[in-house]
Amino acid sequence: MAHRHALAALAAFATAGLVLTAVPASADGGRRPAKTLGELAAAKDRYFGAATDVVGLADAEYARQLAHEFNSTTAGNELKWYATEPQQGVFDFTLGDQVVHFARKNNMVFRGHTLMWHNQLPDWLTNGAWTADQLRAILKNHITQEVRHYRGKAYSWDVVNEPFNEDGTYRDTIFYRILGPGYIADAFRWAHEADPHAKLYLNDYNVEYIGPKSDAYHALVKSLKAEGVPIHGMGFQGHLALQYGYPTTLQENLQRFADLGVDVAITELDIRMLLPATDDKLATQAKWYADVTKACLAVRRCVGITLWGHTDKYSWIPAFFPGEGAALPYDENLNPKPAYYAIRDALSQ
């Protein structure tokens, strides 16, 4: 029997029309259309989504494909601090609202990303000489205003993004330097006060396998839970690269976090390669996409998967990793690649 965990968590969105539904039989008794990735995931009580930016939504074919194929989305950049509070105490949710409107119009679950991150901060924040009390007040106001604005519209939030180094030590950020590690628990408490129904996540990359970084998160989640901090999930970004090998302990790692009593999710999945792409590389990529999907399906509390974009046309990879790319299941012409069909097969099993 398929578990009901993920759909139960999403039930609060039913009144807004944000429910996961399978494709109905055709009214005329004709041949049923092929189910989408979102529909196949919904049949497993999960979501399968793709992040987007507003610039992509201006592309009509891209937007149509995103709305048709996926049942979840998140804003890639529009809800980051530089965009939402460009001046101290002056909030601008114009761009974020466009993505949320798109999600709601198309009955897609919306994940909020991200309330706190050391990158893409406004200059007024990074250049300020703040006392601990001042920065704590700034943080509380930012989190409260943003989460309240999207209260009832965001299923979940990546509350704190990437607070650890690769060796499991705390990253030297403005937040850690001035406030110490307690800022993380405070951020979760403030977010929960602003929207008690939203699921609240930690989120990071290179935590797919068991090692020092994921061990640090495991210890942190366990500690936060013991302290009664409202943390509900751990996000595994999934920015993978063929040249570095597949994280073979992914399923085991997802499970050990789930065993702590939190949901887990793949939050920013893409699988890049050294260019040019070849048939062999695309075949390996397809297998990896299938394996990640199967790992999520094998863990009861893995609630869903989000691609970091769905088409190479708008992928962030080439700009940040010169000589690499072809990371997503659709190519630059919005055509499905072997990875797309591998995901379909994995969701259909």
pLDDT value at position 172?
A: 98
The 3-state DSSP class for residue 191 equals helix
Q: Where are the domains of the chain?
A: 5-10+34-348
**Who contacts 58 (Cβ-Cβ below 8 Å, separation ≥6)?**
none
Q: How far apart are CA 183 and CA 139, in angstroms?
A: 9
CATH no., domain 5-10+34-348: 3.20.20.80
pLDDT value at position 56?
A: 96
pLDDT value at position 34?
A: 83
Q: What predicted TM-score, i.e. pTM, was given to this entire model?
A: 0.93
User: CA–CA distance from 105 to each of 67, 110, 155, 232 (Å)?
Assistant: 9, 11, 15, 27
pLDDT value at position 26?
A: 35
Residues designated as active site: 162, 268
Mean pLDDT by 10 residues, the chain (349 residues): 43 41 39 83 98 97 98 98 98 98 98 98 98 98 98 98 98 98 98 98 98 98 98 98 98 98 98 98 98 98 98 98 98 98 97
Neighbours of 12 (CB within 10 A): 14
pLDDT value at position 27?
A: 36
* Range 125-132, long-range pairs (CB < 8 A, 24+ positions): 125/81, 125/88, 125/174, 126/174, 130/174, 130/178, 131/178, 132/178, 132/179
Q: Which residues of 184-220 are buried (b: 16+ CB within 10 A; e: fewer)?
A: bbbbbbbbbebbeebbbbbbbbbbbbbbebbebbbeb
∠ CA 118-150-227, nearest 5°, is: 60
Residue 120's nearest CA partner among 82, 86, 85 is 82
**Who contacts 157 (Cβ-Cβ below 8 Å, separation ≥6)?**
111, 112, 113, 114, 115, 147, 191, 195, 198, 199, 200, 201
∠ CA 86-91-93, nearest 5°, is: 100
Q: How far is Cα of residue 262 from the mean position of the Cα atoms in its chain?
A: 15
